């Protein structure tokens, strides 16, 4: 027998339940008339209700306890929702910071593209003199996350990578006839398409 059952039994022993609660003829129910039996049933029901009330007082939860449990559940749900909202906000903030950082980098890199164009033109006009410099130049581009878009003569024209400013011929196949300005990738994305002349063959 656990402590709760022992406390309940002691409570029952101490409960003041008189014979009047049970009716005077409960022990002689075989000889009792219907009216007496009905009275005994009512008394028994009252006693049962009294015992349930006593048991609820000892072991059960009161209305106040139920209200506290409901309040705790409500506060717990509010805390979980607040935590989920905060996690969503934090993830969204991280994505925005990453996006803004990429935009700032791309904007900065775009500002040096005219300088890169000047270096390209110098390399084309003086290839031997610029060869040592171009090796370091290519290395620096790689460190910056920049890469040239391939636009060699005879390569297929790709509108996603190349910007055709001149078109010659009337054939079905479009190929690059000349690169007018070098295009660049930045971290794998097209920063600026290559400006080319296209020949249709």
Q: Is residue 98 part of a domain?
A: no
For the chain, give me the number of helices (H) and strands (E)?
Answer: 5, 6
Q: Is residue 84 part of a domain?
A: no
Residue found under tokens 């909202």: 85
What residues make up the domain containing 172? 145-201
pLDDT at 94: 87
pLDDT at 15: 46
Q: Which region holds residue 169: left if phi is over 0, alpha if psi is between -120 and 50, else beta?
A: left
pLDDT digits (tens, 9 = 90+) for 49-93: 777 666 656 555 566 777 888 888 888 888 999 998 999 998 988
Q: Which residue has the higher pLDDT, 194 or 51?
A: 194
pLDDT at 185: 92
Q: Is residue 15 part of a domain?
A: yes
pLDDT digits (tens, 9 = 90+) for 84-128: 899 999 898 888 888 887 788 888 888 889 988 998 888 888 888
pLDDT at 59: 58
60, 76, 92 - which closes a domain: 60
Total structural domains in the chain? 2
**Mean of the pLDDT values across residues 157-186?**
92
pLDDT at 5: 52
pLDDT digits (tens, 9 = 90+) for 9-37: 555 454 444 444 444 444 444 444 555 55
| Highest averaged pLDDT of the listed ranges 29-38, 61-70, 137-146, 160-169 | 160-169
User: Given pLDDT bands bounded at 50, 70 and 90, which one contains residue 3?
Assistant: low
Q: Is residue 92 part of a domain?
A: no
45, 60, 75 - which closes a domain: 60
Q: What is the CATH classification number for the domain harbouring 152?
A: 2.30.22.10
- Pairing between β-strand 162-168 and β-strand 194-200 as defined by DSSP bridges: parallel
Contacts of 122 (CB under 8 A, 6+ apart): 130
- Pairing between β-strand 146-148 and β-strand 184-186 as defined by DSSP bridges: antiparallel
pLDDT at 138: 84
42, 60, 78 - which closes a domain: 60
Q: Is residue 80 part of a domain?
A: no
Q: Is residue 73 part of a domain?
A: no
Q: Is residue 184 part of a domain?
A: yes
Q: Is residue 7 part of a domain?
A: yes
Does residue 184 have a pLDDT over 90? Answer: yes
């Amino acid at each position: 027998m656990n402590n709760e059952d022992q406390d309940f039994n002691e409570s029952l022993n101490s409960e003041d339940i008189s014979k009047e609660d049970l009716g005077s003829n409960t022990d002689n129910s075989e000889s009792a008339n219907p009216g007496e039996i009905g009275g005994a049933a009512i008394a028994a029901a009252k006693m049962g209700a009294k015992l349930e009330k006593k048991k609820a007082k000892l072991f059960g939860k009161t209305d106040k306890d139920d209200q506290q449990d409901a309040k705790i559940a409500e506060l717990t749900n509010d805390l979980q929702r607040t935590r989920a909202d905060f996690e969503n906000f934090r993830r969204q903030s991280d994505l925005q910071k990453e996006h803004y950082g990429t935009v700032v980098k791309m904007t900065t890199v775009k500002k040096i593209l005219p300088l890169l164009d000047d270096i390209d033109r110098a390399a084309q006009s003086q290839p031997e003199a610029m060869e040592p410099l171009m090796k370091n130049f290519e290395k620096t581009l790689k460190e910056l996350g920049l890469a040239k878009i391939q636009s060699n003569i005879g390569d297929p024209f790709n509108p996603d990578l190349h910007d055709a400013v001149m078109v010659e011929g009337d054939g079905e196949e479009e190929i690059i006839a000349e690169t007018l300005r070098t295009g660049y990738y930045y971290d794998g994305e097209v920063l600026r398409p290559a400006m080319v002349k296209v020949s249709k063959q």
